Amino acid sequence: MQDARDPRTESPPNRSKPRSRRLPREVRERQILDAAVQVFARHGYHEAAMDEISEVAEISKPMIYAYLGSKEELFVACIRREANRLIESISGAVDADLPPDEQLWRGLRAFFEYAQQNRASWTVLHRQASTQGPPFAAELSAWRRRALDLVTTLLSRADGTEEDRQVRHEQMQPFAAALVGAGESMVDWWIEHPEHTADALSMRLMNLVWMGFGDMVQGRRWKPD
Amino acid sequence: MQDARDPRTESPPNRSKPRSRRLPREVRERQILDAAVQVFARHGYHEAAMDEISEVAEISKPMIYAYLGSKEELFVACIRREANRLIESISGAVDADLPPDEQLWRGLRAFFEYAQQNRASWTVLHRQASTQGPPFAAELSAWRRRALDLVTTLLSRADGTEEDRQVRHEQMQPFAAALVGAGESMVDWWIEHPEHTADALSMRLMNLVWMGFGDMVQGRRWKPD
C-alpha cells in the first residue's frame, strides 16, 4: 500500500499498464452498468429512461453519454458484460480434471445459482435482449453462440470416445443446444415457482440429461459424490 | 356428390350444423390466415404489411378487416391457430397405449417434423410472437402453458410410479419445461444446420432425455422398435 518512491522522479510506467487515473472511470462505468441492468430489467429497453439510470447510478446523464454512449450502446454494453459474467461463473465452476458427471453437475449448479442471485442480469440477457428485435440481434446471437460453445466444450469432455476432437465437438452441438434451451426454459418455469431451490432445479436437470427418463422411471437417480 | 333431393322442399336442417353459406367464410378466413402466417414469418409483425397479406391471400383488405379485425387481432389469430395445429399434431402422434419410450419418441418426431414442414408457422410461434413484446405476451404465454401442459401429461404417463396423479403431474412440470426448451433450442440450431433430418434430430433429443449422457458416453443408445 505504502510506496516510498516519489512519483515525480519515477521513470515513466509501462505504457500497456492502465494508469491509475483510469480507475475512477472504470468504477463509474461499473456503476452505470449496474444501474442500467436494474432499470432495463425492470422496464424493458423501450420503457427504460436514461433519467432513471442516471438517478440509480448517481451519475449525471451527460457523463453517462460520454462514457458509454447512447441508450442503444448502453444496452449492448449491458448484454455484453452480463453474458461475460454468466459465462465466467459457469466456466469457473467447472474443473476439467473432475469426472464428467461432476463437471456437468457443477456447471448446471453454477448456472441456476447465477440466475437466482442475478435475476436482473438474467432478465436482461434472456428476456429483454430477445424481445427487443433487430438492433440487438447481433449481440444476442453472439452471446448465445458463446454459451453454446462453452456447453459444447463441456459436453465434448464428457464424451469418453476416441473420436477426433473436432468431430466430437461438432456432434455435441445439438446436445449443447438442447441443454442450453432446457436450462433457459427451466429458469422461466422457476420464476413462476420460486419455492424451489437452485440445487433442486440443478438436480432435476442433471437427472434428466445424465440419467435420462429411462433410468428415472425405474427409480434410478444420479447423486452428487 | 349428386343429391337428388330438392332443397326447396327439404325440411329445415339441424340448427347445430353449420349452414353451407358459412363455408365460404371459413374458407376465406383460412386463406387469410395462411397468407398472414407467411407474411408475418417473412417480415415480422411490425414490418408486415396488410397490403401484402391481402395480395398473397387474394382477398381485399376491407374483407380481411371485416373477417379477422385489425393487424394486431390477425396476428393473435395466427398465433392461436398455429399453436393449435402444432399441439394437435403432437398429441395426435402419441397413443396412450404405447410404451412410454415409444410415446416420447413419436411426440418428439411429430414436433421436429412439424417444425420442418411448417417453417413459417414455427417462425411465427417461436420467434415473431416472442419478439413482439407486450400486446402479444398473454397469447404467447397461453400457448406456452398449453405446450407445457401437453408435455407434462405425456411425461406423467411415462412415470411408472404409483404416486397420486396430481403429485406426479406437478413433479413432471420442470422436466416438461426442460424438454420444451430443449426442443425449441434444437430447432433454432437446426435452422442453421439444415443438413440434418427431422429423424436425426428427434433421435438425438430422444437419446438425451431417455438414455441420458451417463449411458451415451458408454455407447448405449436408444433405438426405436
Burial grade of A93 (CB within 10 A; 0-12, 13-18, 19 or more):
middle
Give pLDDT, residue B22: 52
Q: Which residues contact A122 (CB under 8 A, 6 or more apart)?
A: A86, A114, A115, A187
For chain A, what is the mean pLDDT? 84
Read off the pLDDT of residues B168-178 as tens digits, 9 standing for 90 and up: 788 889 999 99
Which A residues 20-59 touch B at CB under 8 Å?
44, 46
For chain B, what is the mean pLDDT? 84
Grid coordinates given for A100: 464428467
For A157, the closest chain B residue by CA position comes to: B217
Predicted complex ipTM: 0.81
Q: A143 contacts in B (CB within 8 Å)?
A: none
The length of chain B is 225
What whole-number distance in Å separates Cα of residue B88 and Cα of residue B85? 5
Read off the pLDDT of residues B79-109 as tens digits, 9 standing for 90 and up: 999 999 999 999 999 988 888 889 999 999 9
CB contact under 8 A, B211 and A214: yes
Superfamily designation of domain A79-216: Tetracycline Repressor, domain 2 (1.10.357.10)
Grid coordinates given for B134: 407486450
- Select the residue of A184, A188, A212 nearest B212 (Cβ to Cβ): A212
Residue B5 above 50 pLDDT? no
CB contact under 8 A, B188 and A205: no
Q: B185 contacts in A (CB within 8 Å)?
A: 177-178, 180-182, 184
B176: left (phi over 0), alpha (psi -120 to 50) or beta: alpha
Question: Among B202, B207, B216, B220, which would you mutate to test the A interface (most chain A Cβ atoms within 10 Å of its Cβ)?
Answer: B216
Read off the pLDDT of residues A17-49 as tens digits, 9 standing for 90 and up: 444 445 588 899 999 999 999 999 999 898 999
* C-alpha Rg value of chain B to the nearest Å: 21
Grid coordinates given for B175: 422436466
A68: number of Cβ within 10 Å: 20
Read off the pLDDT of residues A173-208 as tens digits, 9 standing for 90 and up: 999 999 999 999 999 999 999 999 999 999 999 999
- B170 and chain A in contact, CB less than 8 A: no
Does the domain made of B78-216 have the CATH classification 1.10.357.10?
yes
Read off the pLDDT of residues A49-89 as tens digits, 9 standing for 90 and up: 999 999 999 999 999 999 999 999 999 999 999 999 999 99
CB contact under 8 A, A158 and B130: no
